[in-house]
Amino acid sequence: MSSPKILSVDDSRMIQALIKKSFADYDVQMVFANNGAEGLDVAAKEMPDVILLDITMPVMDGVECLGKLKADPSLKDIPVIMLTAETGKENVLKIVKMGVRDYIVKPFTEANVIERVSRIVTLKQKAATARAH
């Protein structure tokens, strides 16, 4: 089985650097995009196993990007984890209703990101194994 591919969509080079560092010791492929519009293009091209998606970004924010991902038949099943500093109930309910798989609250630790992504990648691999039998 090939190593899982993670797409990180964030306009912050700091966050991109921290995500990259978090997975430095793991057998994963990392791809990056700087905003929601770029994220859609990279997702279509790379077909990642999981997308880490920031909310507040220029050009296209994470909520609009999530809506477009879920509306695209070829991309809608890619699990999305939102990264957000906005933990208000209304905000969380909105993104959960839109089909986000999980969310990570900023500030976050490396362990937190690894744990959330690993949970999804493991589930996906288990589902793929079950389908193969």
Partner 1 sequence: MMPRPEKLGDSLIIETINRYVPEVIQTMVGLTATPAQGIENYPQPSILQGVTGSISLSGRANGIVYTAYSESLSKHVAEKILGGSAGDQDISDVVAELTNMIAGNLKSTLCDMGYNCALSIPSVMRGDEITVSAKNATICVANHYAIEGSSDSLRVLVFASLEN
Residues 23-52 that bind partner 1 (CB under 8 A): none
73 binds partner 1 (CB under 8 A): no
Q: In angstroms, what is the minimal distance from the CB of 124 to partner 1?
A: 28
Q: What is residue 81's three-state secondary structure?
A: strand
Instruction: Count CB atoms within 10 A of the CB of residue 66.
Output: 23
Three-point CA angle 40, 115, 76, nearest 5° = 25
**By CB under 8 A, which span of 13-21, 43-51, 66-74, 120-128 interacts with partner 1?**
13-21
The single residue among 29, 56, 72, 119 that binds partner 1, judged by CB under 8 A, is 56
Q: What is residue 12's three-state secondary structure?
A: coil
Pairwise CA distance, residues 20 & 8, whole Å: 9
86 binds partner 1 (CB under 8 A): yes
In the complex, which residues of this chain contact partner 1 (CB under 8 A)?
12-15, 17-18, 21, 56-58, 84-91, 106-109
